Amino acid sequence: MTEIKKIAVLGAGLMGHGIAQVATQVGKYEVNLRDVEQRFVDSGVSMIRESLQRFVKKGQLTEADLDATLARIHPTLDLKEAVANADLIIEAVPENLELKKATFREVDSYAPSHAIIASNTSSVSITEMASATKRPERVCGMHFFNPPQLMKLIEVIRGAKTSDATIETILAVAHRMEKETVLVKKDSPGFIVNRILIPALNEAVALCYEGVADRDDIDKAIKLGLNWPMGPLMLLDYIGSDTTLAIAEVLTKELDPKFHPTTGLKQMAKAQLLGRKTGKGFYDWTQK
């Protein structure tokens, strides 16, 4: 099993900054946080600081804890610098197979030979991403849930060539971050959660667009009827209609036409009504 001391997180966006925060705040790891533009890096660090300040206000962290956590985060634009001394690289770039494969290929050329490369993907094939590297046995999925600072689950996904030692290492890292884990034994699109969730979100959009019920009643019905902590349309705004659409399209292509995204979901994505990330989706997120 590989000893993990330093982690590189690639992508400082909605998921990446949260993963970096958990790794350094809870896991106490040194973290290199990398993105392609300075504004993305700055935004990621700013979101981490704001999140930590909320923990301080709730009495769950001290100011000293906040300062120590931020001190363990090392922002950078340089990919080689980010991964050259990392034991674990967690990729959190957009859900685009070619982009992810290109990232894996480049990371593979810079990272130490012992380093593990894990993807936070929610739908893309771990096996295919691993094929872009010369270390497929050291590649796996490490799927966090949004927001990583609060959600307890990590899906650990085994690729076709992932070694037992890699899985054991990732499980140990996840547990050090105080997360619960589930092991996806076979690299199947959507893994466990999204294979069940995406059809439910897709159907909720259809109900709304067909005028069967209003947004609030759809969310209320599922919250009270199925005991979800939030309704499917609000959850979709948290995930993003673009991300939901991308996963639905992968499931449709790789598994079964039954996962085909509804017209309403496609229209939401086309209109950039992505939810929290653009300020508007099914709900208005511009007002705090």
Considering only CA atoms, which of 270, 268, 249 is closest in space to residue 260? 249
**From the candidates 51, 122, 123, 202, which is the catalytic residue?**
122
**From the candidates 30, 91, 95, 155, which is the catalytic residue?**
155
Which residue, chain included where needed, has tokens 């259809």? Answer: 206
Cite the DSSP H helix spans in the chain: 16-25, 38-57, 63-71, 79-83, 97-110, 126-130, 164-176, 193-209, 215-226, 232-239, 241-254, 263-270
SS3 state of residue 77: coil
Q: CB under 8 Å to 218, separation ≥6 — which residues?
A: 204, 207, 208, 231, 232, 233
Q: Is 194 a catalytic residue?
A: yes
Hey, what are 66's tokens? 């906040």
CA–CA distance, 226 with 208 (Å, rounded to integer): 18
Q: How many residues does the chain have?
A: 288
**From the candidates 120, 123, 125, 194, which is the catalytic residue?**
194
Q: Is 155 a catalytic residue?
A: yes
Which residue, chain included where needed, has tokens 């290492």? Answer: 169
- Say if CB 193 and CB 220 are below 8 A apart: no
**From the candidates 17, 32, 143, 202, which is the catalytic residue?**
143
Q: Is 202 a catalytic residue?
A: no
- Which positions are annotated as active-site residues? 122, 143, 155, 194
